[in-house]
Structure 1
Amino acid sequence: MLCFNNQFRRRIMAPESPSSWDGGDASQWLGFKNVNGLKVDGFGFGLIDGQGKGWWDQSCRYHPRLKQCTTLAPTALKFVSCNESSVSNMKFTNSAQTHILVRGCNSFSIDNVMIESPGNSPNTDGIHIQSSQHVLITNSRIATGDDCVSIGDHTSNIEIENVECGPGHGISIGSLGRGGNYVQVQNILVTDAFFNGTTNGARIKTWQVGRGYVRDVTFQNLLFNHVQNPIIIDQNYCNVRNACKEQETGVQISNVNYKEVLGTSTTDIAININCSRSVPCFGISMESIQLLSAEVGKQVTANCSNAYGEEVDVVPGPCLLD
């Protein structure tokens, strides 16, 4: 067990300057690999500070014309092939890029963590899960410049419960299949989550060139406050937004359930299910949903393309195909 229970050793700070990584691996800072039964516990005091501003100021995402801008920056804390392991009672702030990465892990839990970085900080996902199974995230608050939680390829049996998200890009499955690879994502549960001022809420995003499947996903008991895209599936993602040439490939999205969803949207389309004509979505279920405009007196709509399923007590709606 790694503990932060001494008041003089409760903070770990990254070097302030990106030049400290010259000659080294710019993606690495703190990490564990092939350690089973690992427990990282901050006892409410442990803080990991990535001091990421220097990296953000040279990020290619926001400074594409900057000579020697960087696309890669250190993840604050990585867990690679660590089974039966956990992180709890910790605070993370200002990571240069992703705050917590869980990759190739089985039976991993994250509980009572607070993650904070500015809403305009690039690529600062709160928690990214990749190629992992049986991951539990509970009782946490995440405020970042990217996804609060992102779920990558080859993941299954992921549960996210009692999480507050905002600012950030929401809780996202994806993006998936970017390189045309075969996607396998299933058995995902997001429940009792609050989204405050996020750009997305419950999102599934797949690239047109991808293959494989996303299935058996449940979003339930969600509350949205001033969210741009509360419910969104984009199965037609490509490099040029809104100008994607239609492809015959696609990641099959099926058996996605939305239940007990309330809140406000800052855009006109509160429910946006954009599926492929070649590989349509099916088994979409919506029940007990009420989404209103954040602007008093304004109406919101639902937009569904090539999506089949059923709706009960859904506002706005209906829009799914039978």
Structure 2
Amino acid sequence: MFGRSIVGTHITFHNVVNYGAHGDGKSDDSHAFLSAWRDTCRTEGTPILVIPKNGVFKVKNINLSGPCKAKSIHIQLQGKIVAPERNEWAKGLQVDDKSSLILISQVNSLTIRGSGQINGFGSSWWNCPSCQRPKVIGFEQCNDLRVSHLSINDSPRAHVTVDGCNNAVFSHINIHAPGDSPNTDGFDISASKYITIQDSNIGTGDDCIAINGGSSFINATRIACGPGHGISVGSLGRNREHDTVEEVYVWNCSFTNTQNGARIKTWKGGAVKVSDVTFRGFEGTSGDEKTIDIDCDSSGCFNIVLEDINIASSEPGKPASCSCSNAHARTTSITPNCNCLFK
């Protein structure tokens, strides 16, 4: 193949191999990815960045940034992207809590699709609790984003972060890390609106999905979560910040071998008001005797609705219970009964 890109009738392809990527899993292909991205970003129309199948591309700390001249951009991720191990990553590069294997920022109308994989090789980081650890892929200030049919495994920290984005759909995403891997959230969402995660399998050592302050209209649909800590709003109110999260919808999701199901987390004394929350249609078993736990501070939680809930102990014959404090709620057809609620 000659040249660095292929120009079709209406579409321009930029293959990272044509920019010097080795794809052997040993060489650092970061520079080739950045060079291919620069040409893709400044191409008019709808260019396509190709990461071809049968290649294993090692990169670290690459920022695919905009704004771009392209009206929209497609990334075909067909091969495998891998991170270096911790000792190699740290050479000549400071790692902090904002570091990532791949950061995509200020790119609008981006579509990422393919049968490819991204592996963060987090096992070389997890035994160092005091280390600052990178995430695998982050999206910052990206609007009209579509990501589908990817596998993302073994991140040192969070697998996917979404920060300051508007109108994004993630579908058919498979995220996996061991259940005892620390802080390996599947998705971390913050300061974002109209974000949908659907038809995906997420199993990690932390939250399958964490929805943080400044986020609204977040939809999690048909998610198989487990292992992990469940699907969580928060934590909110750290350092007494006035975090707001609104219009979160969790539909048709399953929780298998998770620490929690669907929950809201706030910092004690964080002055976060919890209200207008509905739990409906939950059924299954729990290893914790407290199958329902609504623990509000002295200011109370208001307009909480529990309907059609049936959660039993996973141990035959062992009773299940509801625990609540300062919660104002109405209930319809729930087991166990929550007599501790204020009407």
What range is the shorter-chain TM-score in? 0.7 to 0.9
Q: Deviation at 1:180?
A: 1.2
List alignment gaps of at least 5 residues for structure 1.
Answer: 61-69, 211-249
In the TM superposition, what is the alpha-carbon distance from 1:20 to its structure 2 partner?
A: 1.9
Cα distance, 1:4 vs structure 2? 5.0
CA contact (8 A) 2:167 2:194 kept: yes
Q: Which amino acid is 1:21 matched to?
A: A
Q: Alignment partner of 1:58: what SS?
A: coil
CA RMSD after TM alignment: 1.3
Q: Identify which of 292, 317, 322 aligns with 1:271.
A: 292
Partner residue of 1:178 out of 238, 250, 255: 238
The one-letter code of the counterpart of 2:274 is I
The Cα of 1:57 is off from its aligned counterpart by 1.5
Give the aligned partner of residue 240 of structure 1. none
The one-letter code of the counterpart of 2:112 is: V
Query: CA 1:176–1:22 in 2, change beyond 3 Å: closer, same or farther?
Result: farther
Counterpart amino acid of 1:56? W
1:85 aligned to which of 145, 160, 182: 145
The question of 1:191 aligning with 2:191 is answered no
Q: Partners of 1:18 and 1:307 in 2: how far apart?
A: 49
Listed one character per residue, the Cα deviations across residues 3-44 of structure 1 (whole Å, up to 9, x for unaligned) are: 5563435100000234422442422221100000111112xx
User: Which of residues 254, 264, 268 in structure 1 aligns to 2:275?
Assistant: 254
* 2:117 match: 47
Residue 169 of structure 2 corresponds to residue 109 of structure 1? yes
1:255 partner letter: D
1:31 is matched with 103
Query: Hey, what's the Cα distance between the residues in 2 that align with 1:88 and 1:191?
Result: 19
Residues 1:295 and 2:342 are matched in the alignment: no
What is the distance in 2 between the residues matched to 1:164 and 1:137? 11
How far, CA to CA, are the matches of 2:274 and 2:240 in structure 1? 16
Report the structure number with the largest CA radius of gyration: 2
Please say if residues 2 and 39 of structure 1, whose CA atoms lie closer than 8 Å, have aligned partners that are also in contact: no
SS in 2 for 1:258: strand
Matched residues in 2 for 1:293 and 1:17: separation?
A: 42
Question: What count of residue pairs does the alignment treat as equivalent?
Answer: 270
Deviations 1:273-314 (A, max 9, x none): 00011x210000011000101001111000110000100000
CA contact (8 A) 1:3 1:41 kept: no
Residue pair 2:53, 2:80 contacting (<8 A) in 1 also? no
Q: 1:171/1:266 Cα in 2 relative to 1: closer, same or farther (>3 Å)? A: same
Q: How does 1:295-314 map to 2 (within 5 A)?
A: 295-314=315-334
1:6 to 33, 37, 53: 53
Counterparts in 2 of 1:291 and 1:2: CA distance versus 1, 3 Å: farther
Greater length-normalized contact order (CA 8 Å, ≥ 6 residues apart): 1
Identity over aligned residues, as a percent? 37
| Equivalent residue number for residue 235 of structure 1 | none
> Deviation of residue 86 (structure 1)?
1.7
Q: Could you tell me which runs of 5 or more consecutive residues in structure 2 were left unpaired when the two chains were aligned.
A: 1-47, 56-77
The farther-off stretch of 156-165 and 21-30 is 21-30
**C-alpha deviations, 1:83-127, integer Å up to 9, x for none?**
001211000010111000000000011100000000011110001
TM-score under structure 1 length normalisation: 0.81
1:287/1:313 contact within 8 Å kept = yes
Aligned partner of residue 252 in structure 1, secondary structure: coil
| Among 57, 61, 68, the residue aligned to 2:127 | 57
Match of 2:89 among 6, 10, 20: 20
| SS of residue in 1 equivalent to 2:315 | coil
- Determine whether 1:203 maps to 2:268: no
Report which of the two has the higher share of helix.
2
Partner residue in 1 for 2:61? none
Query: TM (normalized to structure 2)?
Result: 0.76
What is the distance in 1 between the residues matched to 2:239 and 2:168? 27
Structure 2 counterpart of 1:102, one-letter code = V
